[in-house]
Amino acid sequence: MASTDSIVSWLAVGAFSFLALHISLEKIQAVFRRRNLPPGPPRRLLRDNRADVPVSHFWKTFASWHKRYGPVVSFYLGQTLVIGEDSSLKPSDYVKFDNTIIEVLGTAEAAHDLLDKRGEFYSGRPRQIVGHEILSGGMRGIGMSYGPRYRRWKSFMQAGLNNTAVLKYRPLQSLECSLLIRDLLNSKAPLEYKAHIRRFVVSVIFCVGYGRRVKDLSDPVVVKNMEIGEYFIKVHVPGKFLVESWPSLLYLPRFLQWFRWEPERHRKLDTELYMSLMNDVKRQIAENTAQPSMAVHSLAKQEEFGLSDEEIAYALSAPWAGGVGTTVAAIEVFLLAMILFPAVQKKAQAEIDAVGRTPGFEDYEVLPYVQALIKEVTRWRCIAPTGVPHSTSQDDVYQGMFIPKGATVYANIYAMTTDPEQFPDGDEFRPERFLDNPQLRNYSIPFGFGRRLCPGQHVALQTLFISIVRILWAFEILPGVDDKGEVVIPSPDSFTSGLVVGPTPFPCRFEPRHSTTVEIVHNEAEGAEI
């Protein structure tokens, strides 16, 4: 008996020793792997580089690090959670705490190698407890972790926004652009153009999502969507919610989780609006009055997508969330560039004038310089400098550098679009670079990478094309004047800061180019009235 007990004891000791050795080796291996992290700024107290990252225009700091440390940079940010792969995990699944490792990719080559070629495990999202899980119920695609739910959402978006599907939105985009040109013609105040551009973009987005046009920005549905967007940005302010750093607070009884109260109230209001918009389309389908839209397409194939009514309602809100601010900012960048580079404006107008009439989508192929100009608009001053961060779902090694599971990965689009090797004289607005270099033919850097590539890029490019080509056809785009009548030349570098950036307000004038322009513009707008 004693001999048997001795054997059991030795087996227990051996098993425990083996387990301890295994854990120790794992820890030692992890330490050595982390020594091979990509280079970056020196680690500060508690390995936190928060003080090195400015709140405003941080992508420019990242770009300076790329020049010093190379195309892939890493640093630590705060004592927080190492992120799991699946947003449906329970609080108990998140038990490992460490400093979040931030990886920044500064060249298109690095982004292509990791986010495109290894997209299977570079397509996650950092966990967002309040903004995604509580406020959005996990139903906004932008915050979904990569998995079955995200793939269903992506299939839904691609079906309504692929390069063939978007062709059916062109007639409404063209009508809305006719109203935009009329509104710009009638502008009186130097900043009035901003509201006209926003109304145009909002109406196009509603046409795409719901087949519904918007007459003015005071429409209650527009106002409610604006409020939703403002609150969505508010809840994503870093450090606003303690639960993001201490997810164990989710163990509290639900009625004590104070951080839920306001977001859940907003979620109820959001859901009511989205369901109302979708049900309006259902009614129009029943009455045979529905216009082509993502809603019409998705409701006809709801079972194929495997999405509930509520999931479809939230998915239909994505074009607004991802498309309004970005498209407005891009058009304003175009206006800024035309003021600062009038020779480019003249060259594009000469190409457009050869069409011999009001240009439209049917003229796209005969306007290569305008196509290049649009690409240069998205490059010269990119409006989403880092995009939305990715996260890794497993450890990886890239060119000898260790990238751990749970790392937050930024694609520094600003650094890529100003890379002097690929874009010499990057501060110059020069569309010719896209005509001279065949390697840039499929340029799409501003729209992201891999399995997180922006699903709305085709409709966005259509909107940019029709608005830019018509504005150039109709107007001389000139700098505005101040109260004393003196010309105000805007700064090329004065931009807002955030996930989406745009030029700070600058005055702009729109002078009709020809004696017949005014009559043509009014006639076309009359036929496009809502």
User: What pTM, to 2 d.p., does this model score?
Assistant: 0.89
Is 188 exposed, middle or buried, given 0-12, 13-18 or 19+ CB atoms closer than 10 A? exposed
The annotation status of 454 as a binding-site residue, yes or no, is: yes
Dist. CA 67–CA 339, nearest whole Å = 31
Per-residue DSSP letters for 23-67? HHHHHHHHHHHHHTSPP-SPP-GGG--GGGS-SSSHHHHHHHHHH
pLDDT of residue 11: 57
In this prediction, residue 16 carries a pLDDT of 62
Q: Do 215 and 530 meet the contact criterion of CB atoms below 8 Å apart?
A: yes
Q: Is 475 helix (H, G, I), strand (E, B) or coil?
A: strand
Check residue 31 and give its pLDDT.
Answer: 46
Mean pLDDT over the full length of the chain:
89
Domain locations along the chain:
35-528
| pLDDT > 70 in the chain, percent | 88
Supply φ then ψ for residue 398, to 5 degrees: -130, 115
Kindly tell me if the per-residue pLDDT of 89 is higher than 50.
no
What is the DSSP pairing of strand 475-479 with strand 508-512? antiparallel
Rounded mean pLDDT, 274-292: 96
Query: Is 335 exposed, middle or buried (CB count within 10 Å of its CB: 0-12, 13-18, 19+)?
Result: buried
Rounded mean pLDDT, 510-516:
96
Residue-level pLDDT at 10? 62
CATH topology of domain 35-528: Cytochrome p450 (1.10.630)
d(CA 498, CA 500): 5
How high is the pLDDT of residue 77?
Answer: 75
Q: Is the pLDDT of residue 93 over 50?
A: no
Q: Sign of the C-alpha dihedral, residues 78, 82, 86, 87?
A: negative
Q: What is the pLDDT of residues 33-81, one digit of tens each?
A: 456 899 999 987 766 787 888 878 999 999 999 999 999 999 887 643 2
* Percentage of the residues of the chain whose pLDDT score is greater than 90: 76
CB 377 within 8 A of CB 330: yes
pLDDT tens figures, 217-238: 999 999 999 999 999 988 887 6
